[in-house]
A = this chain, B = another copy of it.
Amino acid sequence: MNDTTLTVVGNIVDTPERKVLDNGASVTTFRVASTSRRFDREQSGWIDRDTLFVRVTCWRQLGDNASRCLVKGDPVVVVGRYFSRRYEVEEQKRTAYDLEAQAIGHDLARGSTTFQRNPRAADASPAYEVSDEQMPAEVA
């Protein structure tokens, strides 16, 4: 309840790093940069505005796949839960922001992908199947 959802479209700016925690869970982290652009009438072209940097954390199967498939520079779309944590560095209080990913994909606006589904045992949440007769006609 009250989760804050964030979607970011941008490029991975470092090499994804995978760790295995003491409890056996694996987690992969990397950063994404998303640059806002606007059309400039005088230059008749797109110019860059500011860039949003977001740290992405992905757990278990999602993190394992991300670690294997994503490299620095890749264009991605990421959606997940956005939150902040507080910590101290040399007695200075800091806030770190994290995007805990629910889904990540290589952006098809920037290239092509071939997809290989998880082996069934690895996929805790089975894919949603919809038969043709369930399709709402109006959406057709």
Contact = CB atoms under 8 A, between A and B. Distances in A.
A27 interface: no
Interface of A: 1-11, 13-14, 31, 33-39, 41, 46, 49-55, 58, 61-62, 65-66, 68-70, 73-77, 79, 81-86, 92-97, 101-118, 123, 125, 127-130, 135-140
B117 A79 contact: no
A116 B115 CA distance: 12
B102 A109 contact: yes
Contacts of A125: 37, 46, 109
A53 B110 contact: no
A52 to B, nearest CB: 5
B114 A103 contact: no
Those 6 A-B pairs whose CB atoms lie nearest each other, nearest first: A105-B105, A77-B103, A111-B117, A62-B109, A95-B136, A113-B113
A75 to B, nearest CB: 6
B52 A4 contact: yes
